[in-house]
Structure 1
């Protein structure tokens, strides 16, 4: 596994791969890797000749300075995990390398970003689109791999790929969970022990809402029941609980078997902000 630190080195490497007719995959991450990330790397290694994993804690997508400062950074441990999973190249740039000058570009994803994360984290998706766009340009992958825990992010990136005509396929994989149901996340490392014991209640709340929808309850009733379940544990501060069309992310009144619906939440627990979702497919 090669480790590259500069944009020029990555561009030169991928240009050589392209000329050799190799198929490239990109797995963008912010590090502090877990099994969810490794699932993406393994899938990419099966589909492509070269797997590029980027690790970059992107400052432009954080609207909370403390969250950026406290985000776990474990580059050595991450590198040790990546090679056995099939990573060919680890791209580890500095902030100065990715942003030699402050970015002034502004993205507007319309209705896709005016709900959920977009409402509660102003500027977040502009930062995501900026860094992902840079990574796409530098690595020129045939495929890019993302996890569905960040469902709205996947929808935003998919829109960017279509609007800017990136010549790549976006591949997304279902959320990987701990044995007790908690969605794997780099931020889970920051949970105090007591908070970690109640964290799986978030997934249980999503399951509760999904089951009510399957039984014919309205979105409002399912949302109310799940929110009340979360509120019964005082350690949680619920930020949002939304039931939306899985493609447009706009609110729905209920669910029928012909409509893909996503149930999403964000909550604070033990000083850590957690997100999760469940998808009800046709």
Structure 2
């Protein structure tokens, strides 16, 4: 496995590749990320994973500071999975002029997570745009857990006429239903036992108000619980850890 640490090394490696897929990550890899890896490997011969904790998508410095990072563990997992190469840039490479230029969207990015995390999606879209411009992949893989992010990336790629196909993969869950996330590492044992009730509440019968009441009675602090695009989407806090999830809903949700 090649570990590419700068743009010149990435360009040199990329010139020798044909059809390929990119999986952008912020590291702290778990089975959800590795599920994307497996899906991509089944579709194309060459898969590149990027690892970069993007500071521009964090609206609170404390959230950035507490984000779990273990590069050596990430590289070991990817090597064992047979990944062709990993791109591990630093901030100066991806933001040579600082955060002077950014990608903005004026509708969906202002709702749901965007309403509670100002600037978050501008940071996400900007770094994804940079990675797509650098890597020029035929395919890029994202999970459905970050459903709002997925829809924004799809729209951005389409609106900017980019020759990359966005591939969506189903959310990977633990056996108790909890959506896998790097942030789960920050949950206490008690919170980890409670966290699966978010998914259980989403899939159980009941209207939005009854679901909100149930989550609040269990100890979740709700950012939002709403339907969008035939998805029931939620963002909640357990302690100081923010969890998001979504499930498909059939027809109009009352």
User: For the superposition of Structure 1 and Structure 2, which TM-score range results when normalised by the shorter chain?
Assistant: over 0.9
CA RMSD of aligned residues (A): 1.3
Aligned partners of 1:71, 1:83: CA distance in 2, in Å? 23
- Are the aligned partners of 1:33 and 1:186 in contact in 2 as well (CA < 8 Å)? yes
Q: Does 1:271 align with 2:235?
A: no
- Are the aligned partners of 1:29 and 1:56 in contact in 2 as well (CA < 8 Å)? yes
Partner of 2:221: 237
Aligned partners of 1:43, 1:93: CA distance in 2, in Å? 24
Partner of 1:161: 157
Aligned partners of 1:51, 1:267: CA distance in 2, in Å? 33
Aligned partners of 1:162, 1:37: CA distance in 2, in Å? 24
Aligned partners of 2:250, 2:100: CA distance in 1, in Å? 38
Q: Does 1:10 align with 2:10?
A: yes
Partner of 2:211: 226
Q: Does 1:75 align with 2:71?
A: yes
Q: 1:193-250: per-residue Cα shift (whole Å, max 9, x none)? A: 1111111111012112xx44xxxxxxxxx1101101101113x211111112x2xxxx
Report SS of the residue matched to 1:16.
coil
Aligned partners of 2:102, 2:79: CA distance in 1, in Å? 36
Report SS of the residue matched to 2:203.
helix
TM-score, normalised via structure 1 length: 0.86
4+ runs deviating over 4 angstroms? none
Partner of 2:170: 174
Give the aligned length: 251
Aligned partners of 2:38, 2:82: CA distance in 1, in Å? 6
Superposition deviation, residue 108 in structure 1:
3.1
Long gaps (5+) in structure 2: none
- Are the aligned partners of 2:139 and 2:165 in contact in 1 as well (CA < 8 Å)? yes
TM-score, normalised via structure 2 length: 0.95
Partner of 1:120: 116
Q: 1:84-122: per-residue Cα shift (whole Å, max 9, x none)? A: 323110111111222122122243323211210111111
